[in-house]
Structure 1
Amino acid sequence: MENDLNDKQIQILKIAETLFAEKGFDGTSIRDISKEAKINVAMVSYYFGSKEKLLEALVLFKTSGLKEQLVNLIEENLEPIEKINKLIELYINRLNCNRGIYRILHFELASKKKVLELESFTDIKKSNLKSLELIIQEGQAKGVFRKDVIIPLLTPTILGTYFHFQMNKPFFEEILDLKTEEAYNNYIKTDLTKHIQQTIKALLIYEN
């Protein structure tokens, strides 16, 4: 989607992401966004139509890239468990680099509003799930992965672990002695990612 946007549109989306994350969707107005972007309100409306359409564009802008990465991963010459490990790395990296939009998604979905009932976003999630299914099915065909895996529950297992870690950041910073933001982020990229990989592997691989 990024290739379809010009520099001004991308600037508006990035500003909207910051404001939505700080003030919530309802607490942010088009006027707030236009003021921060130093453009007039009509320009935001011209590019995106409404605040709801702006949020939809932001969600797609931040999440569509993973779809392409997963499609490419399927074609790589790797063993199924290596593909799963790489898939988890892609998910965690994408989440960690886009904390703002996922904070917005979590808040808006938790509020049970209809703002985020986006067909296009649902299509992306279905496509990502399909990529995961293809990797699992490859491993099952090779006799490596269990046949009784509930594939749709693997994604929430990955994401749920990550989001729990993020939502309890001060707690984990203290007990894991992560004194800087760099240390915290490095822990996510290494230890937390490895823990999630081990968890998913335990769900997929036959017990000896």
Structure 2
Amino acid sequence: MNDKKADIFNCGKVLFSSKGFKDTNVSDITKMAGIGVGTFYNYYSSKEKLFMEIFLEENVKLKKSIMESLDLNEEPLKTVKELMLLNVNGMNSNPILREWYNRDVFSKLEQHYREENGIKHVDFLYHSFLELIKKWQMEGKMRDDIDCELIMAIFTALINIDTHKEEIGIQYFPQILDYLAEFVMKGLTDDQK
């Protein structure tokens, strides 16, 4: 029985990667998986639900890969800049994760997922970075008068700026993100000169 769910998941991943979310429908997935449409709904309530499950798995893989590649003994500014660069490159190179930038699609998906699963299940960050922030605070490398959850929200805001690069000015975007990361980190590390 779990094999059918895995087949649906894997076929959905292949089709979402090659055709995108909008151009993939449930019948495409079931045809590729060799099952009936009704069987799909035994495992997933909607195409959106399947996509979000795939998206979250891909996002976790990317974040884990990023955390494993970082030198966590580097200074916070260098670490955060590297993390942001790796995140943007990883999001852009993965067709599933790239749907994040299609705000028309993704805002609807996110809203649908929140309604079905609650806000706690839409956590695109990862706890190991939160632990790193706590470590930096204990070592005096980062301000400890700001709650680590609020610092995570600041980093989330920085990452979300990427979805507005056309409005900001795409010709300035990479430099803006880099400078904003630097300014934020200097403010968080009391390294204001």
- Residue 62 of structure 2: aligned partner: 66
Gaps of 5+ in 1: 177-186
- Counterpart contact for 1:145–1:204, Cα < 8 Å: yes
**Distance verdict in 2 for CA 1:199–1:161, change over 3 Å:** farther
User: 1:5-53 CA distances to partner (integer Å, 9 max, x unpaired)?
Assistant: 9788534323136666336xxxx64114445x4x544289469822355
- Residue 36 of structure 2: aligned partner: 42
Aligned equivalents of 1:143 and 1:68: distance in 2?
25
TM-score in terms of structure 1 length: 0.62
- Residue 132 of structure 2: aligned partner: 135
**Distance verdict in 2 for CA 1:59–1:45, change over 3 Å:** farther
Asked if 1:144 is matched to 2:128, the reply is: no
- Residue 106 of structure 1: aligned partner: 107
**Distance verdict in 2 for CA 1:60–1:113, change over 3 Å:** closer
Aligned equivalents of 1:9 and 1:198: distance in 2?
39
TM-score in terms of structure 2 length: 0.65
**Distance verdict in 2 for CA 1:32–1:88, change over 3 Å:** same
Aligned equivalents of 2:8 and 2:128: distance in 1?
33
Using the TM superposition, give the Cα deviation of residue 69 of structure 1 relative to its aligned residue in structure 2, in angstroms. 2.7
**Distance verdict in 2 for CA 1:15–1:112, change over 3 Å:** closer
Gaps of 5+ in 2: none
- Counterpart contact for 1:74–1:83, Cα < 8 Å: yes
**Distance verdict in 2 for CA 1:200–1:77, change over 3 Å:** same
Give identity over the alignment, percent: 17
AA aligned to 1:42 is G
Using the TM superposition, give the Cα deviation of residue 162 of structure 1 relative to its aligned residue in structure 2, in angstroms. 0.9
SS in 2 for 1:22: coil
- Residue 178 of structure 2: aligned partner: 194
- Residue 180 of structure 1: aligned partner: none
Q: Which runs of 4+ in 1 moved over 6 A?
A: 5-8
Residue-pair matches, total: 178
AA aligned to 2:169 is F
Using the TM superposition, give the Cα deviation of residue 80 of structure 1 relative to its aligned residue in structure 2, in angstroms. 2.9
